[in-house]
Chains A and B, each alone.
Chain A
Amino acid sequence: MKNKTLVLTRAMLKNGGGLGFSLKSKWSWALLVLLVVWSIPVVLYGYVQMIAFAYQSLAMIGQEGVLLSWGLVISSFMVFFFGIFHVLSSFYFANDIEHYLPMPIRPRQIVGAKFFVIVLYEYLLIAFVFLPILIFFGIQQGCGVLYYVYGLIGLIFVPILPLALATLLVMLIMRVTNLTRYRELLKIIGGTVAILLGISISLLMQRFADVTPEQISELLLSGNHSLAILQTRVFPTVKWAVQALLNYEIAAGLTNLLVFAGLSGLLFAALLFLAELVYFKGVIGISESSSRRYAVRKGSLDRLVKKRSAIISYLLLEIRLLIRTPVYFLNCVLSNFLWPLILIFSFVVAPSDGDVSGLLGYAKGAINDPGLAGIALGIILAVFAFMSGSNGVAATAISREGQDLYIKHYLPISYRDQIVAKLLSSVVVGYSGVVSLTVPLAVLFGVPLYFTVITLALAFLPLALTSMSGLLLDLLNPKLEWDSEQKAVKQNLNVVFNILFSTVLAGIMVAVTVKLRLNLAWTLVVLPLLLLAACIGLYRLLVTYGVSSFRALEG
């Protein structure tokens, strides 16, 4: 008998739940290849430099082993953090679940298969983070083949613990939120809570992992690599992986590796057991929606009927879809408020002494110092550009239409107006993120009112610019063939391209203000002019190329 879990995994991978990006034109392929070929060595080079620096510093105190545990802990961290997003959208908000529900499949088989698919994704991440460290350490220490074998085996098991934790967290929350009538709304809230909880747990763990100087000196005295173990308190199983790598030459290495693999396997089994109990109860009813069924009386119907201009009505439609579709909300809207939250959280959670208050003081000084205020403004606007460029509202605005795009062809609203409405939706979402970041920070840093007002007023420019670039990218190569909404926003290369664009843009903005050492007055002249010119240029492209490629899209 074939293993159903594996059959399911294969089916999910084939259905594009897997790694594949779909690229229609050869151009985008070429662009992607170019990007990868060009950027990977650069990024890798910088990363290896960092690793080398860390290694040398640690070697001075005879604690090189810490490097391995850092690598593993950081990998686990990232898996946990991104795992929450992945698990939410693939376990609970993907359409394919509905196909599996009527099939004679057990909950643990679905969970197992989906888990495997996500694990495959995480391997990419881990390979990038951990492999360079593994290899660097191995070369420096002149390790034997067995070390690399152990390393690769360890790598296979690394994502299991953090991903299982993320899955457990999400499954429990989803089970609880499925109890009432207002499921869809609660799913969104539940997802939000899961993400917030994930962030706070990560931050709290960071704090927990802080060690006192006494502990360190004690460990320093007690000999080689002992510090490495301390770092792993956060993800306890990583300890065995590190031990296995450090002791690969002796039997203890193998024992530790087996313990590590065994524990991960055990945890996975526990997860499947729990899935059997709670998964279906959380997932059934996800497509049900509440319906009220009360008669709309004559008088009240009149009040419900409203007239708006076509563009505003279209904008409202876009925003409603963004907020009401759980996957869009989590990926495009919530992510805007994530950065502010992380920032504010880290100030609240972080120890009040030392670094943070120093940073606060420095930032306060910079904003109030006329010489530095210009640079501060440039950096802040650059951050806004990055935030809005990475939310994906504009970069998936056409892709999100999917097979329903044809509707937008027969409605009597011009393509230009549709483009404007879609741009506005991106700016509105981005701006609400900007406000939620700026206002609390302004209070926290004691930023002068005029500076806050200037910032909020100018924020429109980077937001408009990155929205236009995103929309243009999506108009030129939209991803329209999808069967579950998550494929429209995740696995959409236009988001990646727009993140790259906004990173470059942010870089230019910072470079201009810093290199030219602009004061506030000059920054207020130069940056807006530059941004405005770019906006006008991109807008011209949108109403020419954008409109004609919109018209030509066959949905």
Chain B
Amino acid sequence: MITMEHVNKTYSGGVRAAADLCLTVPSGEIFGFLGPNGAGKTTAIKMITGILQPDSGVIKANGIDIAKNPLEAKKQIGFVPDNPNMFLRLQGIEYLNFMADIYDVPLDERKERISELCSRFEMEDVLRDSLQSYSHGMRQKIILIGVLLHQPSVWVLDEPMTGLDPRSSFLLKTMMREHVENGRTLFFSTHVLDVAEKICDRLAIINKGRILFTGTIDEMREHLRKDASLESMFLELTDNEE
């Protein structure tokens, strides 16, 4: 479970990227975070994962306050950033070993997880190559594998679908579903509305640092009193805002 209470963040340039954010992401559901470019999705995710410190407010992962007990909170989370271009000079296997060391995954468990995940994502053949030689999608896959090694109970993904081929994207969606079916938490941002409509159990819409709506798609239809597609509701919600 993730909770954000009255979280504010203003960048040094003066942009208010989070305005009194209150959000509860329950476990056992796929939670989508939607909003136009520059809405503040990445900013919120960065505060949840401990990259940015909010100006005010409280953020907890599984009840652990990220500000008070950062290491414990970070261990709960598996984070997939929007940009997979990292650790490019490492070989795939070196990266996986590094992540497992940092998240303190026991040896037997990591052997099992690495071979299982790599075969699911069809990455066994390239483990000895440097990430530099991977394609965009392959980089995304290896990062995903690294994040899943410690079986995080809270999984946070920033724009995970872009760049994946249909098979990998289907695989990811399956894994996301499996993840929440085990009673764990999943929070991801996207602006691909088709994906959101299909897989999200619940979603939040954010624009200009403010949360405009939280709930299921059906609740959104009730809220707007119309039976429309997510796309037209999204456009309406983010457009009216001035």
Q: Which residues of A line the B interface, CB within 8 A?
A: 287-296, 298, 301-302, 304-310, 312-314, 316-317, 320-321, 324-325, 404, 406-407, 409-414, 551-552, 554-555
Query: Is A291 touching B97 in the complex (CB atoms < 8 A)?
Result: no
Q: In the complex, A406 Cα to B127 Cα: how many Å?
A: 25
Q: In the complex, A381 Cα to B210 Cα: how many Å?
A: 59
Q: Which residue in chain B gives the minimum CB-CB distance to A551?
A: B53
B81 interface residue, CB < 8 Å from A?
A: yes
The interface bits of chain B over 32-49 (1 if a CB of A lies within 8 angstroms of the residue's CB, else 0) are: 000000000000001001
B114 interface residue, CB < 8 Å from A?
A: yes
Q: A291-B130, A301-B118, A411-B74 are in contact. List 10 more A-B contacts (CB 8 A).
A: A288-B133, A295-B125, A305-B97, A307-B106, A310-B102, A317-B90, A317-B98, A320-B89, A412-B70, A412-B71
Q: Which residue in chain A gives the minimum CB-CB distance to B103?
A: A412
Query: Is B101 touching A307 in the complex (CB atoms < 8 A)?
Result: yes
Q: Hey, which chain B residues are within 8 Å of A296, CB to CB? A: 93, 124-125, 127-128
Query: What's the nearest-Cβ distance from chain A to residue B152, in Å?
Result: 10
Interface size classification for chain B: 35 or more
Q: Hey, which chain A residues are within 8 Å of B46, CB to CB? A: 406
Q: Which residue in chain A gives the minimum CB-CB distance to B92?
A: A296
**Main secondary structure on B side of the interface with A:** helix
Q: Hey, which chain B residues are within 8 Å of A307, CB to CB? A: 97, 100-101, 106-107, 110
Query: Is A320 touching B126 in the complex (CB atoms < 8 A)?
Result: no
Query: Is A289 touching B130 in the complex (CB atoms < 8 A)?
Result: yes
Query: Is B133 touching A410 in the complex (CB atoms < 8 A)?
Result: no
Can you list 7 A-B contacts with CB-CB less than 8 angstroms, sorted by A residue number?
A: A288-B133, A292-B128, A296-B128, A307-B106, A307-B107, A317-B98, A410-B74
Query: Is B101 touching A308 in the complex (CB atoms < 8 A)?
Result: yes
Query: Is A310 touching B101 in the complex (CB atoms < 8 A)?
Result: yes
Q: Which residue in chain A gives the minimum CB-CB distance to B76?
A: A412
Q: In the complex, A414 Cα to B75 Cα: how many Å?
A: 11
Q: Hey, which chain B residues are within 8 Å of A320, CB to CB? A: 89-90, 94
Q: Hey, which chain A residues are within 8 Å of B118, CB to CB? A: 301
Q: In the complex, A482 Cα to B214 Cα: how many Å?
A: 39
Q: In the complex, A409 Cα to B94 Cα: how many Å?
A: 20
Query: What's the nearest-Cβ distance from chain A to residue B206, in Å?
Result: 20
Q: In the complex, A489 Cα to B177 Cα: how many Å?
A: 45
Query: What's the nearest-Cβ distance from chain A to residue B130, in Å?
Result: 5
Within 8 A of A (CB), among B69-128: 70-72, 74-75, 77, 79, 81, 86, 89-90, 93-94, 96-98, 100-104, 106-107, 110-111, 114-115, 118, 124-128
Most-contacted residue by chain B among A304, A324, A407, A413 (CB, 10 A):
A304
Q: Hey, which chain B residues are within 8 Å of A302, CB to CB? A: 111
Q: Hey, which chain A residues are within 8 Å of B125, CB to CB? A: 293-296
Query: Is B50 touching A410 in the complex (CB atoms < 8 A)?
Result: yes
Query: What's the nearest-Cβ distance from chain B to residue A219, in Å?
Result: 56
Q: Provided the pairs A407-B86, A410-B74 are in contact, do residues A301 and B127 lie with their beta carbons within 8 angstroms?
A: yes
Q: Hey, which chain B residues are within 8 Å of A412, CB to CB? A: 70-72, 74-75, 102-103
Query: Is A410 touching B115 in the complex (CB atoms < 8 A)?
Result: no
The listed residue (B72, B89, B103, B127) touching A325 by CB distance below 8 A is B89
Q: Which residue in chain A gives the minimum CB-CB distance to B104?
A: A310
The listed residue (B51, B72, B89, B128) touching A410 by CB distance below 8 A is B51
Q: Hey, which chain B residues are within 8 Å of A289, CB to CB? A: 130, 132-133
Query: Is B101 touching A294 in the complex (CB atoms < 8 A)?
Result: no
Q: Hey, which chain A residues are within 8 Å of B94, CB to CB? A: 320
Query: Is A404 touching B71 in the complex (CB atoms < 8 A)?
Result: no
Query: What's the nearest-Cβ distance from chain B to residue A40, in Å?
Result: 34
Query: Is A293 touching B77 in the complex (CB atoms < 8 A)?
Result: no
Q: In the complex, A291 Cα to B106 Cα: how many Å?
A: 29
Query: Is B50 touching A409 in the complex (CB atoms < 8 A)?
Result: yes
Q: Provided the pairs A320-B90, A410-B51 are in contact, do residues A304 and B133 lie with their beta carbons within 8 angstroms?
A: no
B129 interface residue, CB < 8 Å from A?
A: yes
B52 interface residue, CB < 8 Å from A?
A: yes
Q: Hey, which chain A residues are within 8 Å of B90, CB to CB? A: 317, 320
Q: Hey, which chain A residues are within 8 Å of B96, CB to CB? A: 305
Q: Which residue in chain B gives the minimum CB-CB distance to A325?
A: B89
Q: Hey, which chain A residues are within 8 Å of B133, CB to CB? A: 288-291
Q: In the complex, A313 Cα to B74 Cα: how many Å?
A: 18
Q: Hey, which chain B residues are within 8 Å of A306, CB to CB? A: 97
Q: In the complex, A410 Cα to B45 Cα: how many Å?
A: 11
Q: Which residue in chain A gives the minimum CB-CB distance to B111?
A: A305
Query: Is B128 touching A406 in the complex (CB atoms < 8 A)?
Result: no
Q: What 7 A-B pairs are tightest by C-beta distance, nearest first?
A: A313-B101, A412-B74, A291-B133, A291-B129, A409-B51, A410-B49, A324-B89
Most-contacted residue by chain B among A307, A310, A320 (CB, 10 A):
A307
Q: Hey, which chain A residues are within 8 Å of B101, CB to CB? A: 307-310, 312-314
